[in-house]
Amino acid sequence: MRALDRDFTEETATDIVLGRNEACSLPRLTQIMAVLVPHLHAVVRELDLTSAEWMAAIAFLTATGQISSDRRQEFILLSDTLGVSMLVDAINNRKLDDVTPSTVLGPFHVDGAPEMDMGGTISLDGRGEPLLVEGRVLDERGVPIEGAVLDIWQTSEDGFYDTQDPSQPDMNLRGVFRTGADGHFWFRTIVPASYPIPNDGPVGKMLAALGRHPMRPAHIHFIVSAQGYDALTTHVFLAGDPYLSSDAVFGVKEALIRDVLTSTDAERAAARGMQAPFKYLDTDIRLQHEAATLSQGPQE
């Protein structure tokens, strides 16, 4: 094997690198390299990559690392905008067909949002158009789940999370709710807005060069968990948003889009602490049992 190492050519390159990694005692790392190196080399070969393009790639990756900080993760943004994050999400969340699909967590979740009584409002400053969100947490057969915990977060009407916007109170538009025996939940909020992902860095430049906008359609984030069920990280998207078919991070799934409707029902308004006419969004969420048989992914 070693004789090869002194004859590095276009033809021998991949075998030589993989041969060198044979001393690795970590089976998973060996496997990762055995997949990564051939694909990396194939990219170079198929593109007939020039030295100048290689140098541009080095500079792009370096800038992507250097703009990242405690408050910003540009490599996650790169992964998001190339569809890698959603693909990892899909592979790690193979579900039964009748279960609510997952989508990306995103960078704006905060631990420790306030636990609220059912029906509470997560809008602490009252800014924006009031919205009632209501539904049930069910299992894969439609049986209500008691004690499911919903961790909710969303943007303001201006498209900013509280952590991005000093004008919002701390923990604005964040809340944690727990279902009763009927699996029912409801809370009050405001209509969220579409917004751009950070686009003043290398990923923003890449999107611009690709002729792509940086927008995400308006959505409400949910993490729903319950004893004995797979935790679900997902969004509910608002029907009619102009970016539903071109989410910059590919997070939209048809099954996660819900209409925002207007109700004139004075009785429901009174029961839910709203003023008629009011906007509402109904959505059930279906979890699957931990031990449930997974639907087959498109594996070989």
Give the footprint of its own copies on residues 101-160 (CB under 8 A).
none
Residue 20 beta carbon to its own copies: minimum distance, rounded to whole angstroms: 6
For its own copies, the closer CB: 51 or 293: 51
For its own copies, the closer CB: 43 or 118: 43
Residue 12 beta carbon to its own copies: minimum distance, rounded to whole angstroms: 9
Backbone φ and ψ of 232, nearest 5°: -120, 125
Considering only residues 191-210, where is the footprint of its own copies by CB under 8 A?
Answer: 209-210
Instruction: Among 92, 262, 275, 293, indicate the residue that binds its own copies (CB under 8 A).
Output: 92
Residue 275 in the binding site for its own copies (CB under 8 A)? no
Distance of CA 160 to the CA centre of its chain: 16
Contacts 24+ apart (CB under 8 A), 292-296: 292/96, 292/140, 292/230, 293/96, 294/94, 294/95, 294/96, 295/94, 295/95, 295/96, 295/97, 296/94
Residue 196 beta carbon to its own copies: minimum distance, rounded to whole angstroms: 16
Whether 146 and 227 have beta carbons less than 8 Å apart is answered as no
Instruction: Among 23, 143, 181, 291, indicate the residue that binds its own copies (CB under 8 A).
Output: 23
Cα separation, 205 vs 56, whole angstroms: 13
Cα separation, 104 vs 107, whole angstroms: 9
For its own copies, the closer CB: 58 or 271: 58
Instruction: Among 27, 61, 225, 267, indicate the residue that binds its own copies (CB under 8 A).
Output: 61
Instruction: Among 29, 118, 239, 276, indicate the residue that binds its own copies (CB under 8 A).
Output: 29
